[in-house]
Structure 1
Amino acid sequence: MQPAIIRAERVEKYYSQPSENRIQVISPTDLSITAGEIVALLGPSGSGKSTLLRMLTGLSAPSAGEVYWHEKPIATAEVNVSIVFQSFALFPWLTVLENVEAPLKAHGMEASERRKRSLKILDTVGLDGFQAAYPKELSGGMRQRVGFARALVVEPEVLFMDEPFSALDVLTAENLRSELLELWQNKTIPTKSIFIVTHNIEEAVQLADRIIVLGRNPGHVRTDFRVSIPHPRDRKATSFTQLVDYIYKVLTQPDAQPPALPQTSTGKKVRDQRQMHYQMLPHARPGGIAGLLELVLDHNGKDDIYRLADDLAFQIDDLLPIVDAAQLLGFLTVTEGDAAITSTGTEYANSEILRQKELFRTAAVENVLLLRQIVRAIESKSDRSVPEEFFHDMLDEQFSEDETLRQLETAINWGRYAELFDFDASRRRFIQSEKLHQDADASSTAEIDA
Structure 2
Amino acid sequence: MLLTARNVAKSFQGYPVLRGVDLALREGEIVALLGRSGGGKSTLLRILAGLIPPDEGEVRFKGRRVEGPVEGMAMVFQTFALFPWLTVLENVALGLEALGVRREARLSRAREAIALIGLRGFEEALPKELSGGMRQRVGFARALVVEPELLLLDEAFSALDPLTAEGLRGDFLDLWLAGHLSTRAVLMVTHNIEEAVAMADRALVLQGSPARIAQEIPIPLAHPRDPGDPRFRDLVDRIYEALTLKEAVERRLEEEVLRLPEARVGALASLAEAIARLGGRADLPVLAEEEGLEVDELFPLLEALELLGFARVERGDVELTPAGRAWAEADPEERKVMFAEHLLRRIPLMARLHRLLLERRRLPEERVLAWLKDHLPEPEARRVLAVILEWGRYAGLLGYDKRGRIFLPSRP
When normalised by structure 1's length, the TM-score is 0.83
Aligned partner of 1:82 among 74, 82, 93: 74
- Give yes or no for the alignment of 1:349 onto 2:328: yes
The answer to which of 139-148 and 197-206 deviates more is: 139-148
- Give yes or no for the alignment of 1:26 onto 2:18: yes
Aligned counterpart, 2:53: 61
Q: Deviations over 1:345-396 (max 9, x none)?
A: 22222222221122112222232222233344556x4x45566566545543
Q: Distance in 2 between matches of 1:25 and 1:139?
A: 35
Distance 1:178 1:76, change over 3 A: closer
- Give yes or no for the alignment of 1:207 onto 2:163: no
Aligned counterpart, 1:416: 393
**Residues 258, 372 of structure 2: 8 Å contact kept:** no
The answer to which of 61-70 and 72-81 deviates more is: 72-81
Aligned partner of 2:5 among 5, 8, 19: 8
Distance 1:121 1:321, change over 3 A: same
Shift of 1:67: 1.8
Q: Distance in 1 between matches of 2:203 and 2:46?
A: 18
Shift of 1:202: 0.7
Aligned counterpart, 1:51: 43
Q: Distance in 1 between matches of 2:97 and 2:57?
A: 34
Q: Distance in 2 between matches of 1:120 and 1:113?
A: 11
Give the residue type in structure 2 aligned to 1:41.
L
Aligned counterpart, 2:247: 256
Give the residue type in structure 2 aligned to 1:281.
L
* Greater radius of gyration (CA): 1
- Extract unaligned runs of 5+ from structure 1: 17-21, 258-270, 436-450
Distance 1:51 1:250, change over 3 A: same
Q: For 1:345-384, list aligned pairs within 5 A.
A: 345-378=324-357, 381=359, 383=360
- Extract unaligned runs of 5+ from structure 2: none
Q: Distance in 1 between matches of 2:391 and 2:69?
A: 51
The answer to which of 86-95 and 185-194 deviates more is: 86-95
**Residues 117, 137 of structure 2: 8 Å contact kept:** yes
Distance 1:79 1:114, change over 3 A: closer
**Residues 283, 318 of structure 2: 8 Å contact kept:** yes
Identical columns (%): 42
Shift of 1:313: 3.5
Q: Distance in 2 between matches of 1:79 and 1:172?
A: 30
Distance 1:94 1:394, change over 3 A: closer
Q: For 1:20-169, list aligned pairs within 5 A.
A: 22-75=14-67, 78-169=70-161
Q: Distance in 1 between matches of 2:339 and 2:250?
A: 30
Shift of 1:247: 1.8
Distance 1:394 1:10, change over 3 A: farther
Q: Distance in 2 between matches of 1:76 and 1:27?
A: 20
Aligned counterpart, 2:272: 293
Q: For 1:207-286, list aligned pairs within 5 A.
A: 207-215=199-207, 217-253=209-245, 255-256=246-247, 277-278=256-257, 280-286=259-265
**Residues 329, 364 of structure 1: 8 Å contact kept:** yes
Shift of 1:126: 1.9
Q: Distance in 1 between matches of 2:164 and 2:170?
A: 10
Q: Distance in 1 between matches of 2:61 and 2:183?
A: 15
- Give yes or no for the alignment of 1:197 onto 2:189: yes
Aligned counterpart, 2:162: 170
In the comparison of the two structures, how many residue pairs are matched?
411
**Residues 49, 69 of structure 2: 8 Å contact kept:** no
Give the residue type in structure 2 aligned to 1:301.
G
**Residues 357, 363 of structure 2: 8 Å contact kept:** yes
